[in-house]
Amino acid sequence: MIRLFSLTLTLALLLTASGCVGRAAAPDPEPVTVSAPEVLPDPPPEPESPPPEEESPPPEEESPPPEEAGEPEEPYVRVIDPSKPMVALTFDDGPSGLCTDQILDVLEENHALATFFEVGRNVARCPEPVKRMAELGCEVASHSNAHKDLSRLKKAALLADLDTADQAFASAGVEAPTLVRPPYGAVNQTVKSATGRSVITWTVDTLDWKSRDAQAVIDYIQGYGDLDGEIVLMHSIYSSTAEAVAALVPWLQEQGYQLVTVTELMAYYYGELPQPNCFYGYTYFTTHGRTDTPVELPGMLPPAAEEAEG
């Protein structure tokens, strides 16, 4: 009887063990890419993906119950480690009531931040999402007031447009942005260096405005390769983009990426803060690598911090 029992136990243990082995990481098939962005050249995909963070799950013994109901929840403290992979998601053309809120819901649930380049006249019509994104810690940036090609405006008209946008941000209760992304990525020397702002474009174009297809955006990002240090362009006015973001935010975090704002990416990855009258375009981002001397912002993991155990 005892022998029969121990035989059954052994068999059960073997099955449990093989269950664990069976679950261990099957490598993802290499995804197929992808059309080149229209505005900027596609950077060469570096298949140097970040090290997988996951350890294989412990055997399914008695895991402790996941947090008793009565216990008070620890407040989430966001800490960014400048030595680990990071990517900046950016959203242009909003705010749009529903889609922007859906994107903010996903960011909030996953403790992720992003940067929103908002159009001033949209902010004037729909200020609530802008207040909310600022409260969440997202970066609110300007995408001009009327979404004109700024490189075709005389300097006075260009500055007037940006100032009008700033008034809309002020009316929404947020600070006047110091970052500007020119509509269509169109710049000339005046736009680049005479607005008193930092002008920033992007490095990865999902073409979400063109495909209006969530799966196409997901496939593009998941097949891109190494996204460390990249600035991803999307638009917060399409439900397809909001749907893609709901899948991509947790996926990027599972891959080990920290989701940071543009200013955080500049400080932690490129080692400088955006300066007024400077242009940060594709060339800047692709010719600067990861810095050894990050600019410290509130929320950065202190450089001397020891690796926590466990």
Between 92 and 230, CB nearer to Zn ion: 92
Using CB under 5 A, which of the segments 56-64, 123-131, 180-188, 222-230 binds Zn ion?
180-188
| 182 is an interface residue for Zn ion by CB under 5 A | no
Contact predicate 166/160, CB 8 Å: no
For Zn ion, the binding residues in 14-43 under the rule CB under 5 A are none
Using CB under 5 A, which of the segments 12-20, 67-75, 181-189, 218-226 binds Zn ion?
181-189
For residue 301, what are the CA distances in angstroms to 77, 217, 255, 283, 294?
11, 31, 19, 29, 11
The SS3 of residue 141 is strand
Between 198 and 201, CB nearer to Zn ion: 201
CB of 202 to Zn ion, least distance (A): 11
Q: Which of 134, 137, 132 is nearest to 102 (CA)?
A: 132
CB of 304 to Zn ion, least distance (A): 42
Contact predicate 178/124, CB 8 Å: no
Asked, as a colleague might, if the bond just before 95 is cis with ω within 30 of 0, I would say yes
CB of 201 to Zn ion, least distance (A): 11
Using CB under 5 A, which of the segments 151-159, 166-174, 177-185, 198-206 binds Zn ion?
177-185
CB of 119 to Zn ion, least distance (A): 7
Provide the residue type at 140 as one letter. V
Catalytic, 235? Answer yes
CB of 123 to Zn ion, least distance (A): 14
Contact predicate 231/280, CB 8 Å: no
Looking at the chain, how many residues does it have?
310
Pairwise CA distance, residues 193 & 226, whole Å: 31
| Binding residue (CB under 5 A) for Zn ion from 82, 94, 120, 183 | 183
Q: Which residues, other chains included, contact 248 with Cβ-Cβ below 8 Å and sequence gap of 6+?
A: 89, 217, 218, 221, 222
- Look at phi and psi of residue 235 and say left if phi exceeds 0, alpha if psi is from -120 to 50, else beta: beta
Maximal CA-CA distance, the chain? 94
For Zn ion, the binding residues in 120-149 under the rule CB under 5 A are none
Between 145 and 255, CB nearer to Zn ion: 145
Q: Which residue is nearest to Zn ion (CB)?
A: 92
Count of residues binding Zn ion (CB under 5 A)? 3
Using CB under 5 A, which of the segments 45-53, 182-190, 216-224, 226-234 binds Zn ion?
182-190
Contact predicate 256/48, CB 8 Å: no
Between 119 and 267, CB nearer to Zn ion: 119
For Zn ion, the binding residues in 86-125 under the rule CB under 5 A are 92-93
Catalytic residue among 147, 166, 235, 288: 235
Catalytic residues: 92, 235
Note the residues at the interface with Zn ion (CB under 5 A): 92-93, 183
